[in-house]
Amino acid sequence: AKLSKPVVFFLDDLQWADAYSLHLITTLVTDKAIQNLTFIGCFRDDEVDDTHPLGSTLYEIRTRSVAITKIKVNNIIKEDINALISDTFHLSDSFTASLTDIVHQKTNGNIFCILQFLQSLCDGGLLQWSSVSNSWEVKNSSIEAEFSPHDKVRILARRILHLPEKTQYALKLMSCVGASCLESTLMLFLDENIAINVKKERDDQYR
């Protein structure tokens, strides 16, 4: 990285980062020999406190006089949802306004729920591309009838049902363990052939 070509390094879901990853991040951002690097990390602050590994990592970075700027991302407003839908599907703001009303009502502006909701509409044929009109078609009345305002869980459940049967079975077993489990436990839940491939991919990453 140099002044004319700075590097921006972004990692999502840091609340799930393992100890090795957190150590690497700490090394990168505290090494004074590394210049023109901006690290951006995203995490769910409701899952991270001072006792969480990420919380401890952030504290350690601060003690080394590294400036940290915290940006809290709230649910997005209806106008921004409309801009997102309009840009994504290349439709006019006025045309997507009615769909935006529905999406905002169902998701309350949660970006994760918005993306899942839109994906579920595409999967269900309620938002689909028409080769006749050469544009996206939206079935607003069907969307209203199909989904209730509190259907976030059902939307995610439908997404899970699209996963391979063995993956669904593994998720069922994992749910009995709790909110998290060891990788070795996960391997027991997965199909043997899948487990071998996952282990191989993991080993290849650290070579």
The pLDDT tens digits of the residues spanning 19-73 come to: 999 999 999 999 999 889 999 999 988 889 888 999 999 999 999 999 899 999 8
Residue 85 burial (CB count, 10 A): 22
Q: Measured between alpha carbons, how far is 168 from 191 in angstroms, rounded to an integer?
A: 11
Residue 194 pLDDT = 58
Mean pLDDT of the chain: 84
pTM higher than the cut 0.75 = no
Residue predicted with more confidence, 195 or 76: 76
